[in-house]
Structures are given as C-alpha cells and as structure tokens.
C-alpha cells in the first residue's frame, strides 16, 4: 500500500500539516475490497476560515513575484510527478479503484496541465487602448483575482484538482482546495505535497478535508475567495452557482453530461466499436464525458451491435491491481446500488438486455440495453457507470434530434467516412465539445473545456483559464489637464 495514506492523512493549512479540529473522521476506503486506507479528522468552519486567510496573506507577495520565478515551481512540480509516478499510480488504483490504464491516462493529463502551467505564468498581457479624450492613456491590466476556492470530484481527483489549482497558482492567486471525501489524498493532500516539495511558499495553497455536514456552505460563502471552481454533479453545481451569485462570486462549473456517440451509415464500424467501448467504459463509465448513449443508423445497427456486444462481453471485470482488468469497482456501494436501479428500471419499462451485468460488492459488470422506450427519462439523464443504451435511428435528422434531447450538453462524437459531413453534424449539436471520428472522452490543456445547458458555466484550459482566474483593471492616465463641465 502507498505510504501516502499514512503520510498525508491530515489537513494542510498555512503551510503546516495538522489534524483537523472536528469531532469526527472521514474514512478513506479502497472501493475494491473496502480496506481502510486512512482516517482524516475533518476541518471545521474556523479552519476553513484560517485556510482562506492564509491564502490571502501569501497571495500578495506571490502576485508580486516575477512570473519567471513562479514558473520554476511548476517545472519542479512536473519533475516530482514524473519521479513519483509509480507511487501515485498505486494511490490511484487503491483510492479510486482505477485500473492501471486509467491511472496512466490521468497521470499523462496531469503532466500535460503542469507543462501548460509553466507557460501560463507568462501568459497575462496588458493593453493600452485609445481614448476619445485628448491626452488620455487607457491602460488595461490583467491581474489575479486574489483567492480561488477549488472543489474537486472523486472520479479523476488528481487531474481535476490540478487543472484548477495549478493554473490559479501560476496566474498569481492563492488557493484553498476541498477534495471529495472519497478521494481526500489523490484529490487533495497529494496535490499539496507535490507543491510543498516543489518550493511553493507556505500558505499559498491550502487543503481542507471536510464535508458539508461539518461546514455547511462556509467554503463557498466565505468572503475572501473571488472565484469558486467546482467540478461535480449538476445538482450540487446548481447550488454552488446559486450561493456564488448571492455573494457576487464568479463560479466556474464543470458539471455532468449525457454524451452520445453517433455512428452514421458510412462509418468504419470496427473503429466506431473501439471508440464506443472506450468512451463508455473508461474508468467504469465514471466520467462526465462518457458515452451514455450509442446511437447507430438502422442500416448498420445489426452489424454494429453484434461487434459491440462481443467486445464489451470480453472486458475483464475485477481487481484494478491486475494489469488485465479493464473494469474495476465503482466508487462506493451507493453508486453500485444506483446503477442496479437504472438497469431494473429500464427492464421494467420494456428494454432488452443484450448484456445484463452482475453486481458483486462495488464491482458492476457492463450492461448493454436496447429497446429503451423513446420517452424514458433514462435516455435524458447522466448514468455514472458501466451501463450503456444502444439506440437505432433513421437518418441524420433523427440522430440530431436524439442527441439534443437531453438537458446536458458536454461532449459527444460522430463517426462517418466523410469528415466534413461529421463537422456539419457536430455544429448542429448543442454541446460544448464534439469530436469527429474519435471517442467522447478528451481533455487538452490548450482547448476550451466545458459544456452547455446543465453541463456547466464557463470554460477551463488555454486562454479561457485566463478568464477564469484573472480579472482586468482599467487605469487611465491624463497627460496634461482635463477639462470639466463645472
């Protein structure tokens, strides 16, 4: 077992590792065998306040530091992740139930985002704008917002913490990070340890492991953070956005999805099958961009379905430590129960199970369902696990109607032998991201990431990260004397 569980089982506030002041503990379990990994006493409201105040104090000097000096921290952090990759892999496998393929995928992206943060420190630019007034010079400065609060989820916790924390720090902000209680190490204290060892000044990054049962809305209501970056469900995201609006904070909300992978009549079926299998079943389907629905033109549906079901049936379910395992456990028993309920509901509504996966503890084997009634709410909601709906369609117009018939709009994909046909299709889908002849699960440091409708507000990555974690200030200079009407 990774030593991280015994080393990082505490809060990180003001540059110090310490026990939380709460009266109860967050218990960190291995979702595969329910082994206890760590016990962390929760942080209190007062400790959340301490964390934000520490970040605010440290931020002033950090923002005044040369961006060339700031970027050196991220260069060192990248080297540390590379050096510790084996130990971090073991942590991801144990704490998330992630397979080794999933851990490699997550670590690859973490390193890419750290590389981008090295450059991001130098990215902000000011402007001088013309004025209608004689002798006036308008300077527009891009400056850090000050303090950023980050709330990360359990599915890709190291990545989804790092992709907000690292850019926010690189741009001169202080940060307080609250990881999900199911992944407090990978999503929280590991991030703090990496940056501490990379030489980040104490107090600039703080990690509070706690729960709303202890602190309520104190994390998002606190007066110091100007931006809250939240990744999670649309239900919780709606609440976060509402509280932020009431307190005049900017909310960056990366929420759920109900993506579709569309197979048109001229698609390469073998390739489309490969893309669909990955898009639905990577990390047990616990991915916001995962293809909940696979829509197939009726002219090729029979052939596609036969190949797809055979591929899914061959996926190995079991211990994520086994390098051959493709599908490990879902995060907890509540999630396993919710997935069983989805399959039961679909069958009760008249669906046909081409595969009906068994549930053993937190291991949920894949289910492939078809003939789900068109009006079923199951086709419009996010299903966070290894359950997929196969839906035939007749022509592109029906495919577009089906793709858009959901309150979500995060990602998706279309497969076709004609790239421009695919692009034309993608442009008519109401979604933040869409991919032609590829899978639905993608994230790149330079490309705006985010969704439409219930899938969130705002974007991260690339230039949009500047918008998320900085603000602009207008300073005018009057050369000579200005005239006044009285």
The set of catalytic residues is 254, 288
Looking from the CA of 414 toward its CB, the CA atoms found within 13 Å total 27
Q: Where are the beta strands (DSSP E) in 35-164?
A: 36-41, 127-129, 136-144, 147-151
Structure tokens, 218: 């104190």
Burial call 186-197: b when 16+ CB within 10 Å, e when fewer: bbbbbbbbbbbe
201: DSSP letter: P
Mapping DSSP to helix (H, G, I), strand (E, B) and coil, where does residue 118 land?
helix
DSSP tag of 71: H
The residues with which 456 forms a beta bridge, in sequence order, are 254
How many Cα atoms sit within 13 Å of 318 on the Cβ side?
9
Best CA proximity match to 338, nearest among 273, 284, 404, 398: 284
Residue 85 and residue 80: Cα distance in Å, rounded? 8
Identify the DSSP state of 186.
Answer: I
Count, residues in the chain: 486
**386 contacts: CB under 8 Å, gap ≥ 6:** 280, 281, 284, 285, 327, 330, 339, 357, 364, 365, 366, 367
Could you give the CA distance from residue 186 to residue 10 in angstroms, rounded to a whole number?
13
Measured CA to CA in angstroms, residue 435 lies from 152, 259, 399 at distances of 25, 11, 15
DSSP H stretches of helix in 189-285 = 190-197, 212-215, 218-221, 234-246, 269-281
Q: What's the angle, vertex CA 286, arms to CA 280 and CA 289, rounded to 5?
A: 60
Give the CB-side neighbour count of residue 236, counting CA atoms within 13 A.
17
Q: d(Cα 259, Cα 431) in Å, to the nearest integer? A: 9
Instruction: Report the candidate in 188, 194, 128, 100 with the shortest Cα–Cα distance to residue 152.
Output: 188
Strand partners, 229: 150, 252
């Amino acid at each position: 077992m990774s030593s991280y569980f015994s080393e990082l089982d505490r809060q990180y506030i003001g540059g110090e590792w310490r026990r939380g002041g709460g009266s109860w503990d967050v218990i960190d379990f291995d979702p595969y065998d329910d082994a206890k990994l760590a016990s962390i006493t929760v942080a209190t409201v007062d400790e959340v306040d301490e964390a934000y105040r520490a970040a605010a104090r440290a931020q002033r000097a950090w923002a005044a530091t040369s961006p060339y000096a700031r970027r050196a921290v991220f260069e060192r952090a990248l080297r540390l992740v590379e050096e510790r990759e084996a130990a971090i892999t073991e942590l991801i496998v144990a704490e998330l139930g992630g397979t080794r393929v999933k851990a490699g995928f997550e670590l690859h992206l973490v390193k890419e985002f750290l590389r981008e943060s090295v450059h991001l420190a130098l990215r902000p630019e000011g402007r001088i704008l013309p004025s209608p007034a004689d002798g006036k010079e308008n300077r527009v400065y891009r400056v850090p917002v000050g303090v950023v609060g980050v709330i990360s989820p359990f599915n890709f916790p190291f990545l989804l913490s790092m992709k907000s924390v690292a850019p926010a720090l690189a741009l001169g902000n202080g940060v307080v990070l609250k990881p999900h209680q199911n992944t407090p190490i990978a999503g929280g204290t590991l991030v703090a340890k990496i940056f501490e060892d990379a030489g980040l000044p104490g107090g600039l990054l703080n990690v509070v492991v706690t729960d709303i049962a202890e602190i309520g809305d104190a994390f998002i209501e606190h007066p110091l953070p100007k931006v809250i970056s939240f990744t999670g469900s649309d239900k919780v995201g709606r609440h976060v956005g509402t509280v932020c609006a009431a307190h005049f904070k900017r909310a960056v909300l990366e929420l759920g999805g109900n993506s579709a992978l569309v197979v048109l009549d001229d698609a390469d079926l073998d390739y489309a099958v490969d893309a669909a299998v990955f898009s639905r079943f990577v990390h047990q389907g616990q991915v916001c961009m995962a293809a909940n629905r696979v829509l197939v033109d009726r002219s090729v549906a029979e052939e596609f379905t036969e190949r797809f079901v055979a591929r899914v049936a061959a996926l190995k379910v079991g211990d994520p430590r086994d390098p051959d395992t493709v599908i490990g456990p879902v995060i907890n028993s509540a999630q396993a129960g919710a997935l069983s309920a989805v399959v039961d509901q679909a069958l009760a509504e008249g669906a046909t199970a081409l595969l009906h996966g068994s549930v053993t503890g937190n291991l949920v084997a894949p289910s492939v369902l078809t003939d789900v009634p068109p009006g079923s709410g199951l086709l419009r909601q996010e299903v966070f696990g290894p359950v997929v709906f196969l839906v035939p369609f007749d022509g592109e117009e029906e495919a577009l109607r089906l793709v858009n018939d959901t309150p979500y709009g995060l990602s998706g994909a279309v497969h076709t032998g004609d790239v421009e046909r695919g692009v034309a299709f993608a442009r008519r889908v109401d979604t933040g991201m869409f991919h032609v002849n590829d899978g639905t699960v993608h994230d790149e440091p330079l490309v705006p990431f985010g969704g439409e409708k219930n899938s969130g507000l705002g974007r991260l990555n690339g230039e949009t990260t500047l918008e998320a974690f900085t603000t602009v200030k207008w300073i005018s200079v009057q050369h000579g004397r200005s005239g006044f009407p009285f």
